[in-house]
Amino acid sequence: MIRKLILAATALMALSVGAQAQNTVTTTQVNLIGTNTSTTTQNGVTNSSATLSQTGILNTGTANQGLSIASINNSNTMTQNGVFNTASTGQVGLGSNGNSMTQTGLSGTTGAAQNTATAGQLAIFGNNGSSISQTTSTNVAGNFGVAAFNHAMVGQTSIFGSNTSSVGQLANSP
């Protein structure tokens, strides 16, 4: 059993070092009145990388990496600036998974700023790392009917590696 595990880990390292195929997606969306929606799906025994930047009132971003066919390593970065921000990622990697989400929610006189982030990671031989930073602000002095909300959920499983998660939240409502 130990010998098979060592052989599998060695094969994974060889694939990771020698892999030439890669999935890479960079998406930038700006819509000051409407909705930004982005969905990225990356599969295959390769390294996958996704970067998303959204600025608008309503932002929704989803990145699924290695869910049908496991990737070697996965990397995901999402940045959202708007009133309602929703970000989610699912990562399955033979090696390591990395996720970073930054959300800034700003509301005006009527709407409540809301950030929602969800990350699910499964690494077989590597490590999971996830960082979520959320800031909401109503920016309306004296308007006590407007609220600011942050929601985050991280689920991590690593068979032979480690899990690291960091969530920072600031909700500011005058």
Structural domain tally of the chain? 1
Residue 106: the pLDDT is 80
CA 158/CA 92 separation, integer angstroms: 10
CA 129/CA 133 separation, integer angstroms: 14
CA 85/CA 112 separation, integer angstroms: 11
The pLDDT averaged over each successive group of 10 residues in the chain (174 residues) is 60 55 93 92 95 95 96 97 94 96 79 88 96 81 63 94 93 70
Residue 7: the pLDDT is 54
Residue 174: the pLDDT is 59
| pTM of the complete model | 0.85
Residue 144: the pLDDT is 53
Residue 107: the pLDDT is 73
Residue 87: the pLDDT is 97
Domain that holds residue 119: 2-172
- DSSP assignment of 35-104: EEEEEEEE-SSSEEEEEEEEEEEEEEEEEEESSSS-BSEEEEEEEEEESEEEEEEEEEESS-EEEEEEEE
CA atoms within 13 A on the CB side of 152: 20
